[in-house]
Amino acid sequence: MKQLVAAFLAGLVFAGGLVLAGMTRPGKVFAFLDLTGDFDPSLAFVMGGGLLVYLVGFKAITRRGVPLLAPRFLVPTRRDIDGRLIVGSALFGIGWAIAGFCPGPALVAAGAGRFEALLFLPAMAAGMLAQRLFTRWLDRRVLSAHT
């Protein structure tokens, strides 16, 4: 129960930060991505601020040895850059540029009743499902090629 409460509170803080920074407004995102027009660099400061808080917090928290609400830290061990990561990152960026939303801000905007976000979320879910089906299909083809 403590983990659920902590996750809920962290989600509220994250959502509040997204709203305060304007990341739930597609127009603000489009202005950030428009390098040749009416460029607005403010979201770079938002992302940089988030990265700074993460770096400081991660160092401080991992010094504890054990998390407060879990038996161990779950830290990714993979450090390689493969084709799936590159293609997935490119598709994420294209989707962000087209819609002006990424998943977190879209959920917050949908919760606020923004029509664009309510349209975006089912499309995002369909994309996630398509990715899962494609990955399973691809994995089966790779496995069958090696046997």
SS3 content of the chain, % helix, strand, coil (to 5): 75, 0, 25
Higher pLDDT, 119 or 145: 119
Q: What is the tens place of the pLDDT at every residue in 104-125? A: 888 888 988 989 999 999 999 9
**pLDDT for the residue numbered 142:** 78
| CA atoms within a 13 Å half-sphere pointing along the CA-CB vector of 20 | 9
Region 56-62: mean pLDDT is 89
Given a cut of 70, is residue 147 above it in pLDDT? no
Q: Are 20 and 86 in contact (CB under 8 A)?
A: no
**pLDDT for the residue numbered 74:** 85
Domain total for the chain?
Answer: 1
* Domain limits for position 28: 2-146
Higher pLDDT, 120 or 65: 120
Which pTM value belongs to this model?
0.69
**Tokens representing 147?**
């046997």
